[in-house]
Amino acid sequence: PSINTLIFISNNKYIFMFEYPHFGRIEQVTPNPSILLGNDIFWTEKLDGSNVGIYLKDGEPVVMDRNAIVARFSESVKQVPVFDKIVKLLRHLKDNYNTDCIVFSEFMQKGSSPTGLKHYDCDSLIVFDIYNLTAGRFETWNNTCLFCGTFDIPVVKLLGFCRCHTLNELY
């Protein structure tokens, strides 16, 4: 597997694999941009930090990033106060709905941001996506906000919403 691929193994059996998608421009949507037509599109804030995924493996939290199944800054992420709330959410979903998820967050590390455009006074996490491993899909924006809101977990700002019916509207 590539370093961006997360493999889940149980009892020495391959269960499934997850690779976080890389989103390009609208023209690059495959098989073609028309698959977006008639669907809800949510436009959210993009923060200058590091993309991390938090999930449970054998009941214990693991922090991954785009480059490693266990992030090099995993211990720093685990020290952010909201991390424990994310773990509680993951355990709640597993215990009450038999659902495994990956909570994707932006990790803003104290100091200069990855691009150097921002300076952060302390480490922080903010959720931007939840991938439902059990269902094999991303949760809706509304579900992400509902799940996170129940556990007082911050979510990126919603900048806008649209539903396009023609390619001209989409572009």
Q: Using one digit for the tens of pLDDT, what is the confidence trace for 98-132?
A: 999 999 999 999 988 888 889 999 999 999 999 99
3-class secondary-structure state, position 124: strand
Give yes or no for a contact between 20 and 104, defined as CB atoms under 8 angstroms apart: yes
Angular region, 98: left φ>0, alpha ψ -120 to 50, beta rest: left
> Does the global pTM surpass 0.85?
no
Query: Which among 100, 92, 150, 170 has a CA at the least distance from the CA of 130?
Result: 100
The 10s digit of each residue's pLDDT in 18-33 is 555 666 777 777 788 8
